[in-house]
Amino acid sequence: MKTDVLIIGGGPAGLTAGIFTTRAGLSTVLIERLAIGGQASLTYLVENYPGFDKISGFDLTDRMAKQAEANGVDIVYGTVNSLDKSEHGFIVKTNDETYEADKVIIACGCKTRRLGLINEVELTGHGVSYCASCDGHFFKDKVVAIVGGGNSAITDVDYLSRLAKKIYLINRSEKFRAGEHQIKRVSEMKNVEILTNAQVSKLSGANELSGIQLTQNGETIDLKVDGLFVAIGQEPYLPFLNIDIKKDSGGYILVDENMQTSEKNLFACGDIISKHFRQIITACADGAVAGNSCVGVK
């Protein structure tokens, strides 16, 4: 199948890019591996997106997807297995289709970072989770722990505070990456206990999580919990990329002011690029630049 632009990833960055390319008259195929909206769709409450005092991540990204489709973006579900250069552009292969595209936008986001503990993989789905809005209902009136100090962890607290009997918020340092007003609000929740300078060092339980062990200020603490939610960030994941492009030391893609990578006509935007601030609004801004650049950059 031939298309002017192919977008890999259906989060806010990819959807916004598609709106700009199609409105400029470029045929556009967007391939999403899991669910339209990406990680943003799992955010329980968004309070910092202009135009909406409060809106769920699902509702916000659903509106983006409907707008993209209304403008002509062809949204396809599938896993991209390879991205290669061709004589006149790029070849993108999924399990079901091979696409030829003049220009490609990588907007696939990142994968969730794990703690790296023994039994973590085995206990995933059996008490260990990386998505509070997906699995939170399993822990109604139970005791859970959340690991992390950024916005994702606070979002998880917001969501789980309405369900869990008790929440331990565990941060490895004294200072949180999330905003002070967010931490103040969380600290005032009656069912939340904040533990700083603490790290999870062990997971207990054979077939089901039964507790966690913490190291805090040189001491060992055992906590009995029914669930552990890991919210310690993400890392780039580009197994399909067969083109040698420039990246930073963390593996994030380096782009110029046009969101173009070191490979001509290959663009990237959103959480997969090297930048300091990762929010829904910045992903949309990146996508707008990338989409517009597909029209204007020769």
Say if residue 142 is exposed, middle or buried (CB neighbours under 10 Å; 0-12, 13-18, 19+).
middle
Is the per-residue pLDDT at 22 higher than 70?
yes
Mean pLDDT across 132-148: 92
- Beta-sheet strands, E only, within 171-218: 192-195, 198-204, 211-216
Strand partners, 169: 146, 194
Is the per-residue pLDDT at 195 higher than 90?
yes
Catalytic, out of 62, 74, 102, 135: 135
Mean pLDDT of the chain: 93
Mean pLDDT across 172-201: 92
Strand partners, 211: 204
Q: Which among 230, 247, 267 is the end of a domain?
A: 230
**pLDDT digit string (tens) for 96-130?**
999 999 999 999 988 888 999 999 989 998 999 98
Confidence of residue 202 (pLDDT cuts 50, 70, 90): very high
Task: Give the CA count within 13 Å in the CB-facing half-sphere of 198.
Answer: 23
CA nearest neighbour of 269 among 46, 21, 52: 21
Q: Which helix (H) or strand (E) holds 36?
A: none
81, 158: one domain: no
141, 221: one domain: yes
Confidence of residue 297 (pLDDT cuts 50, 70, 90): low
CATH number, position 118: 3.50.50.60
Q: Which among 213, 230, 247 is the end of a domain?
A: 230
75, 215: one domain: no
The whole-model pTM stands at 0.77
Return d(Cα 228, Cα 188) in angstroms, integer.
21
163, 70: one domain: no
**Does residue 177 contact residue 151 with C-beta atoms inside 8 Å?**
yes
Catalytic, out of 62, 74, 102, 131: 131
Confidence of residue 298 (pLDDT cuts 50, 70, 90): low
**Nearest-5° Cα angle at 270, 67 to 16:** 15
Report how many domains make up the chain: 2
170, 199: one domain: yes
The reply to whether 135 belongs to the active site is yes
217, 171: one domain: yes
The reply to whether 131 belongs to the active site is yes
Say if residue 226 is exposed, middle or buried (CB neighbours under 10 Å; 0-12, 13-18, 19+).
buried
134, 278: one domain: no
Catalytic, out of 59, 134, 248, 256: 134
179, 257: one domain: no
Domain hosting 134: range is 114-230
Mean pLDDT across 249-277: 95
Q: Is the dihedral of CA 133, 134, 139, 140 positive or negative?
A: positive
139, 214: one domain: yes
% residues pLDDT > 70 (the chain): 99
* Encoded tokens for 282: 């910045």
176, 259: one domain: no
List the alpha helices (DSSP H) in 233-298.
Answer: 280-296
**Does residue 91 contact residue 98 with C-beta atoms inside 8 Å?**
yes
The reply to whether 284 belongs to the active site is no
**pLDDT digit string (tens) for 206-242?**
899 999 999 998 899 999 999 999 999 888 989 999 9
Say if residue 67 is exposed, middle or buried (CB neighbours under 10 Å; 0-12, 13-18, 19+).
middle
102, 205: one domain: no
- DSSP annotation of 252 reads P
**Does residue 298 contact residue 102 with C-beta atoms inside 8 Å?**
no
